[in-house]
Amino acid sequence: MPGLEMPREKKAGLWSRLHLARRLGTYKENLASSSFLPDEGDYLLMEGRPGRAPEAKFLGRYKEGAIYKTFKKYGIYQEVTKLGFERIEIRILPSDNGRQRLKILALKESRVMLLSDIIVSEENLTFGAEAPDLCGQNFKALVIQWIRLQNPLLSFTPERPALPGQKYPGLGVGNRTKEMLVGIGVYNNFKLITNCPEFCHNALMYHPEFLYLDPAREGRLRALWRDLKKFGLAPLSWATYLGCVRLNGEPYTWEHEEQIRPLCQEVSRHFTAQSYLDAMEEEMRRCHFTLDLDLYNEQNPLTENGEARIKPEMSLPERGGF
């Protein structure tokens, strides 16, 4: 792509405390695909299903019929069927070390394509000193290990370039998928959902429904977007990944920490507490991010067609990941 240039400055204010509290339960950010697994292309055939447990259940509760109904309830199935595929199937793979895996496969001109790959686990989390108000309390958590949403029929464009880790453009159902997971969490009495974003764009797409437990970390994410959103999501995410971002003049390294979506009042209160909001806003005032344009253009991560020149090394982490 052509070299990145400094856009016109736009005014950007701090997030208000009232806005933060009101947005805890909303879903207005769109989620894009981001991840690929080492077994790319090694999918089950549409017929036969070798090696598949006959009674595999997602989270140990949902058979394929129930997942079909859930996907339809949140409009995911309907949106995917509009994309021109000849056949769509949902697969639940057997549990692997506590991880639950759910795939959407599609058939197009005799080619089997992976559209969605979701890996989650169910864990009991105990908070420590990083959250004094929750310290020692144990909560049932739905842990997002991995989410990939992609449309292999589409290509990247200069207007919609590749994000780090993407092989194909997004499927367009990220927001609905996020709502579905929250709905599953609430229905099954999970107290929170957590994820550990691999890249900057992942964190921003989960945000603001998912927040960092540490208010200072939350403040840095908000300050990063406040200062550099003028460049666009893809350049910002690539710049963060490639080390082209500066925090108060010093090189900034992406911080791999967990975000949390509260599903109960006990956890929600941590994020709406006056102490949390004060610390978050103080960190936003302290932090000033800039983008090293010369270094970014030297790295040149995107082609003129919007495709990625660089394939980040990725692996499924023990906790979180996206």
Q: What is the pLDDT of residues 213-247, one digit of tens each?
A: 999 999 999 999 999 999 999 999 999 999 999 99
State mean pLDDT over 271-290.
98
What is the span of the domain harbouring residue 105? 17-299
The answer as to whether 315 is a domain residue is: no
The answer as to whether 36 is a domain residue is: yes
Residue-by-residue DSSP string for 1-36:
-PPP-PPPP---PPPPHHHHHHHTT---SPP-----
Residue 79 confidence (pLDDT) above 60: yes
Distance from C-alpha of 274 to C-alpha of 271, rounded to nearest angstrom: 9
pLDDT at res. 1: 62
Least trusted range by pLDDT, from 41-55, 146-160, 232-246, 287-301? 41-55
Q: What is the pTM of this model?
A: 0.82
pLDDT at res. 145: 93
More confident residue, 176 or 51: 176
The answer as to whether 258 is a domain residue is: yes
Count of domains for the chain = 1
pLDDT at res. 62: 92
Closest CA to 168 of 155, 178, 177: 155
Contacts of 6 (CB under 8 A, 6+ apart): 293
- Token pair for 319: 């906790």
The answer as to whether 267 is a domain residue is: yes
Residue 251 confidence (pLDDT) above 80: yes
pLDDT at res. 55: 63
Cis peptide preceding 208, ω within 30 of 0:
yes
The answer as to whether 304 is a domain residue is: no
The answer as to whether 312 is a domain residue is: no
Distance from C-alpha of 236 to C-alpha of 312, rounded to nearest angstrom: 15
Least trusted range by pLDDT, from 96-100, 245-249, 295-299? 96-100
- The answer to whether the CB of 59 falls within 8 A of the CB of 100 is yes
The answer as to whether 4 is a domain residue is: no
pLDDT in tens, 135-189: 999 999 999 999 999 999 999 999 999 999 999 999 999 999 999 999 999 999 9
Residue 259 confidence (pLDDT) above 70: yes
The answer as to whether 12 is a domain residue is: no
CA-based angle 56:61:66, to the nearest 5?
Answer: 85
pLDDT band at 20 (very low <50, low <70, confident <90, very high): very low
- The answer to whether the CB of 274 falls within 8 A of the CB of 22 is no
Residue 113 confidence (pLDDT) above 50: yes
Average predicted confidence (pLDDT) for the chain: 84
